[in-house]
Amino acid sequence: MPTLRDIRKRLKAIQNTKKITAAMKMVAAAKLRKVQDRMLNFRPYAIKMDSVLSDLAKVAEREIHPLLALRPRKTVEVIVITSDRGLCGAFNINILRASANYINGLKKEGIEISLGTVGRKARDYFRRRNVPIRKSWAGLSGKLNYSDAQEIANDLMENYKNETTDEVIIIYNEFKSLILHKVSIMKLFPIGSIEPEEGQAKEPLISGDFLYEPSKEAIFETLLPKHIEIQIYRGLLESQAAEEAARMTAMENATKNCGELIDKVTLLANKVRQAGITKELMDIVGGVEALKL
């Protein structure tokens, strides 16, 4: 049975842990409010941009711009977005498991995989499994800027133009609520592909054409790179909001568990202390009785 000193040391350690988890919860809540506002304000713009560019691409001549090219699906670039740090519950493991399953499914179809990662958790996960990583980005958690999305977009667009990849997929956690985030798989290239995603109904072709001003070439030249940057930035914002929400929930649960553990250890300490007092009293009574003899 542990001594009272050992129990008090353990109790002190749990109390210190509770202070840390409570502080981390408040920090995550503050960060969440900031990134959630940015994400919710940006989401409608990104969705509308995707809708407009997809509609334009479906009726445009594919030869008009390199980013509109349609090629046989031989090499697929998969970008996995995770966090740089842990202590956020199942946030990272959910996205990593979904990514591994998706990649394995592509390999079974005989498709070559080119892997990119955003966040240290994804990079370390695939490195431990000896999965080749073409390029990785890290250190974006907590200090995300639009320039980061531009850097990733420029890299992906360059590879697509050079025909290094035939399709680009981004896998990230989409923010739904404080307690819910969903793994989302977004096809970045080819833009406006008519082929439906698995499980989705085939969309009807758009009839007619659009009026372009100043010209079709100028519009695609300006909007297509911007569209890629915006969709990547949206994925990064969604992932960061989901990360902070998951961390806040995890730290809240950890603080609650610490409180329950403190009660149990305190009860144990009281029992040990009471047992010690009882033993001392019995020793005193025994000594008094011995003196009477």
Provide the CA 204 distance to its chain's centre, in angstroms. Answer: 33
Q: Do 6 and 277 meet the contact criterion of CB atoms below 8 Å apart? A: no
Tokens of 34: 């900031």
Give the Cα-Cα-Cα angle 14, 19, 21 (nearest 5 degrees): 90
Of residues 28, 32, 88, 228, which has the active-site annotation?
88
CA–CA dist 292, 268 (Å, integer): 36
Tokens of 139: 């250190």
Instruction: Give rounded-to-5 percent helix, strand, coil for the chain.
Output: 60, 15, 25
- Residue carrying the six token digits 């498991």: 97
Task: Reply yes or no on whether 258 is catalytic.
Answer: no
Q: Is 88 exposed, middle or buried (0-12, 13-18, 19+ CB in 10 A)?
A: buried
Residue 86 identity (one-letter amino acid): G
Q: Do 259 and 32 meet the contact criterion of CB atoms below 8 Å apart? A: no
Question: Which one, of 186, 173, 237, lies nearest residue 54 by Cα?
Answer: 186
- Using only the alpha carbons of the chain, give its radius of gyration: 28
- Residue carrying the six token digits 């990064």: 236
- Residue carrying the six token digits 């030869």: 63
| Residues acting as catalytic residues | 88
